[in-house]
Amino acid sequence: MDDARPSWDNPMQFMFACISFAVGLGNVWRFPYLCQMHGGGGFLIPYVIMLILEGLPLFYLELTLGQLMRKGSIGAWKAVNPYLVGVGAASLVISFLVSIYYNAIVSWSFWYLFNSFENPLPWANCPLNSNNTGFVEECVKSSSTEYFWYRKTLNVTPTIDDAGSFHWEMILCLILSWLVVYLCIIRGTESTGKVVYVTASFPYVVLLIYLIRGVTLHGAGNGLAYMFTPRIEHLMDPKSWIDAATQIFFSLGLGFGSLIAFASFNQRNNNCEKQAIIIAFINSLTSVFASVVTFSIYGFKATFNYESCLERMMLLLTNTFDLEEEAIRPDTLDEWKKFLNSTEPEMFAGISSQIEVCDLQSYLDTTAEGTGLSFIVFTEAIVNMPGPSQIWSILYFLMLLMLGIGSMLGNTAGVITPLNDMKIITKYIPREIMIGREHNVKRV
């Protein structure tokens, strides 16, 4: 039956497909968070160790299994031992469930991308209230980016008793997400092999642009110093090692059946050992690369918030105590607080509720991951970045789209390939619907 199985046009297509699947949203929003949580650069020690001990062997195992058996996850594990068919079935179910929620993230990226063409960006400012007499109170208490995320994007209701209504714009974005994924896989390896060139390479172009812009931002050095300053004491925490192992496992896409599916379209004499090493290290280096970009922008945001806090406090003290302008400087703010508190205790007590503690380290220590990092923290940084915010926003969400779609190609392959091998889909659904139309592909 091998003669009837399609294959990649060349080994490079297979590598791009694996890179596109492995390098996903977790590299951008999960790995930087783990570095922040577990000792900055010190987290690289357990991460690299787990890559060598756990990631590479399992990654190579899946590529070898798929290439040798030339079947999807269910057929490949069944060929090893009939009792292992459950492992393949579990991989199929996991890929199916992950595809459902992963494509929702792609739809959010579409939603933000479409809104990125507005000037100003819709999450840059709080909306006016119903009377047009001020801003929405909830937005003022939180932030404009949080309000846009929870109220405009997710359409979260104020209470659990309120079921809310259909978010038709988001439903259309979700339909568009599935349509784009369908078009990418419509002709099997023939179409997927072309798409992965874009989904695997475009994120690096955007990351490079953001790197050049990020490291030149005011305060970027604070974020990079925070990332690369190792806090070795975190190595004594078992959770650091557990999180490193977990990140390697999910970042490489192990256990989803997608790698087995991709490898099943290789020729049996393909050197998958060399490819496994290259892909695994590219994936890990991408995580570090993305973290440098993230922490440079994160440092800019933290410095911006820190300096804004200083300005608010200096203005508050100057106006309250009728001081000369520029009498208080950032480096003398704490001294002025002590002086005014001792000389005017009653007046100082009256504004004590408005006094904030401005500490750069506390802003850097503020953690965010997942959607919170991408759709709240990063969008806030984009608004405050010098230059046209629309351009930065469009580039960023195009990158998220490419990362999401690339991972979706692997997730859908982990579902469709084993079902096709067992003739389950084509038995009930015409082949033309599943893959668009009959086509000629390279056979081996």
- Nearest-CA neighbor of 285 among 18, 5, 27, 9? 27
The confidence band for 427, taking pLDDT boundaries of 50, 70 and 90, is: low
The confidence band for 289, taking pLDDT boundaries of 50, 70 and 90, is: very high
Would you state the pLDDT for residue 241?
94
Residue with tokens 């779609």: 405
pLDDT tens column, 161-174: 777 788 899 999 99
Comparing 397 with 384, the larger pLDDT belongs to 397
The pairs formed by 141-145 with CB atoms below 8 angstroms and a separation of 24 or more are 143/376, 143/380, 144/383, 145/375, 145/376, 145/377, 145/379, 145/380, 145/383
Angle at 265 between CA 401 and CA 27, to 5 degrees: 30
Residue 361's CB is within 10 A of a number of other CB atoms, namely 11
The confidence band for 130, taking pLDDT boundaries of 50, 70 and 90, is: confident
Task: Calculate the dihedral angle through the C-alpha atoms of 152, 158, 162, 168, rounding to the nearest 10 degrees.
Answer: 0
User: Under a CB-based contact definition with an 8 Å cutoff, are residues 237 and 34 in contact?
Assistant: no
Residue with tokens 């475009």: 202
Tokens representing residue 324 in the block: 């000369």
- Nearest-CA neighbor of 310 among 356, 264, 243, 352? 356
pLDDT of 90 over the 90 cut: yes
Would you state the pLDDT for residue 264?
93
**What values do phi and psi take at 285, rounded to 5?**
-65, -30
User: Under a CB-based contact definition with an 8 Å cutoff, are residues 283 and 198 in contact?
Assistant: no
Q: Which residues pair with 135 in a beta bridge?
A: 128
The confidence band for 429, taking pLDDT boundaries of 50, 70 and 90, is: low
Task: In whole angstroms, give the CA distance from residue 318 to residue 326.
Answer: 8
pLDDT of 59 over the 90 cut: yes
pLDDT of 1 over the 50 cut: no
The confidence band for 37, taking pLDDT boundaries of 50, 70 and 90, is: confident
Would you state the pLDDT for residue 29?
83
Tokens representing residue 340 in the block: 């005014």
User: Under a CB-based contact definition with an 8 Å cutoff, are residues 261 and 66 in contact?
Assistant: yes
Q: What is the mean pLDDT of residues 48-71?
A: 94
What mean pLDDT value characterizes the chain?
A: 88
Alpha helices in 85-188 (DSSP H): 85-115, 137-141, 144-147, 168-185
- Among 30-44, 312-326, 402-416, the range with the most confident prediction by mean pLDDT is 402-416
Task: Work out the percent of the chain whose per-residue pLDDT is above 70.
Answer: 94
pLDDT of 45 over the 80 cut: yes
Task: In whole angstroms, give the CA distance from residue 331 to residue 225.
Answer: 21
pLDDT tens column, 218-250: 999 998 998 888 888 888 889 999 999 999 999
Alpha carbon 104 to its chain centroid, in Å, reads 13
pLDDT of 362 over the 90 cut: no
User: Under a CB-based contact definition with an 8 Å cutoff, are residues 420 and 4 in contact?
Assistant: no
pLDDT of 342 over the 70 cut: yes
Q: What is the mean pLDDT of residues 278-299?
A: 92
Q: What is the mean pLDDT of residues 384-400?
A: 91
* Amino acid at residue number 387: G
The confidence band for 199, taking pLDDT boundaries of 50, 70 and 90, is: very high
Helix (H) or strand (E) holding 331: none
Q: Where are the domains of the chain?
A: 2-435
pLDDT of 2 over the 60 cut: no
